[in-house]
A and B are shown apart, each in its own frame.
Chain A
């Protein structure tokens, strides 16, 4: 209540030294911008884990994900108890015009893939057109926007593992049903790909298996692995979430890096803002003493000073989060390595929360000092 009544005083104090206010708000904004960006990158790395289907397993070659598996395994996997359905894909790794135009290209089984990945939405007519065209391809919504393609365009991809120029006709566009879904993929038909390639015919990169009961996913994975023990192509099967988490782990401890950078930014901000607040309170010792004389309680004085710091934090934090959102709206700045470069509303709230916590931490000591201010001592100095 007192804060609402004192809002003009709070605002007047903020405008008292405009340059200082701008710089302080700016430091909050930069810190929260960095925090939000790091959170987006971290989330992008973990995107596979976040969007992984609970009822899906990934089956890869036991030696390495880059080693193939025979396509013939498909039938044998489907025979394993608990397996509902399965599909497969191959990582193509081609180049569109320039290496920096990276995006994931997958040769998929068009008869099964869509049933397994139901989170991707497609127009039925477009899908039929894709299924009817051996050189057809399906592209993600963001990908088609990124390159300004249109349905019917013929896209040349330079093969790196499988040489030559591969041309595909855009027949369909898919979109995700969740904000985090990757809309940067490029799918084309496995049958066409397998027929044309010379190397690795009849093999796939991995299988994706849908299980009947997600609670028994681990048992099913074990059963799949056991089926191929002592074969030339032994397999590793794990839940999609575990698989994605494993890849994230291989990338490195992003969280630790983020935490370190975040902590440095946080403490730098605390020192800067804390000293600004302390300076501001020291300059106004007499005024705070007068407010106390007029009947403002110790608690009210503490709240006033803290509210000032929080106002800095809120304005700066809001600007920082807003700038980060605008930045992420422009899409993946790495050219495809962070396909789900998306700042979620939750992360935005975290950014503002981060700013508010910084505001409290920066303002608490000056606020307590103001609260403990001795009126007589302070008035003597006026």
Chain B
């Protein structure tokens, strides 16, 4: 279940209350997000849509612990992250969030395997355990046969699949996808959306995705619209 009305929702995996984000630019205060409320249950696939500058990416950054709000709170799996210090927030991010970006953001000098392994280097797993996890993640995204390829040897769609494998390899609490199909052709985009859908349905992953693409949004269970920093009751597709 996904709701934006701010009423107490006990089983929510992600709970956002009265979230504000303001910036000061040239003496002028810009309200990017204003009093935003959101509750998302586990296993939900939520798409955020809205015009440029509406605050979608800012919301994603706040949910992912990359930025801190000006006011309000974000609680994920019972942990309120808005008061965490820099280091604790980083550690929390490593444990709970998987990121997928529009430009894939793979390290070009590392193979697909090594890229996917990166989040596991921060854990106490042994080399063998890491290998097992990486191979499994690459299998899930259908790239087990490309694990020793470098990003430059992969197509855009394959690169994005590696990036998804990297996002899921540490088994995070939820995935944040920022325009994951924005740089792909239609066929590749469909493959990625199918993969995300599969992660939700088969592996009960929770995904929050920012997109401009209505066809991508169609894959989500719920589509929420952001306009001028305010979240508008969305459409439940499922």
Contacts and interface: CB of A to CB of B under 8 A. Distances in A.
Interface of A: 2, 5-6, 8-9, 12-13, 15-16, 286-287, 290-300, 375-376, 379, 382
Interface stretch (B8-16, B87-95, B139-147, B197-205): B87-95
Given A6-B121, A382-B105, A375 B66 contact: yes
Contact of A295 (B105, B114, B119): B119
A87 B93 CA distance: 80
In terms of DSSP, what is the predominant structure of the interface of chain B?
A: helix
B87 A8 contact: no
B67 A376 contact: yes
19 contacts: A8-B110, A9-B107, A9-B114, A287-B105, A290-B101, A290-B105, A292-B90, A293-B93, A294-B93, A295-B93, A295-B94, A296-B90, A297-B87, A298-B86, A299-B87, A300-B122, A376-B66, A379-B105, A382-B101
B103 A382 contact: yes
A9 B119 CA distance: 13
Contacts of B64: 293
A8 B119 CA distance: 14
Contacts, number: 63
B29 interface: no
B76 interface: no
5 closest Cβ contacts across the A-B interface? A295-B94, A12-B109, A5-B121, A290-B105, A294-B119
Contacts of A290: 101, 105, 107
Interface in B172-208: none
Nearest to A298: B86
Contacts of B48: none
B122 A2 contact: yes
Nearest to A14: B109
A104 to B, nearest CB: 58
Nearest to B58: A376
A294 B99 CA distance: 8
Given A295-B122, A298-B86, A287 B107 contact: yes
Contacts of B61: 376
Contact of A293 (B87, B95, B99, B114): B99
A120 B84 CA distance: 71
A291 B107 CA distance: 9
Contacts of A16: 109
Given A12-B109, A286-B105, A296-B90, 19 more contacts: A2-B121, A5-B121, A6-B121, A12-B107, A290-B101, A294-B93, A294-B94, A294-B122, A294-B166, A295-B91, A297-B87, A297-B90, A298-B86, A298-B90, A300-B122, A375-B66, A376-B66, A376-B67, A379-B105
B110 A295 contact: no
Contacts of A5: 121
Most buried by B among A9, A287, A294: A294
Interface in B51-109: 61, 64, 66-67, 86-87, 90-91, 93-95, 99, 101, 103, 105, 107, 109
Given A8-B110, A287-B107, A382-B103, A294 B66 contact: no
Contacts of B93: 293-295
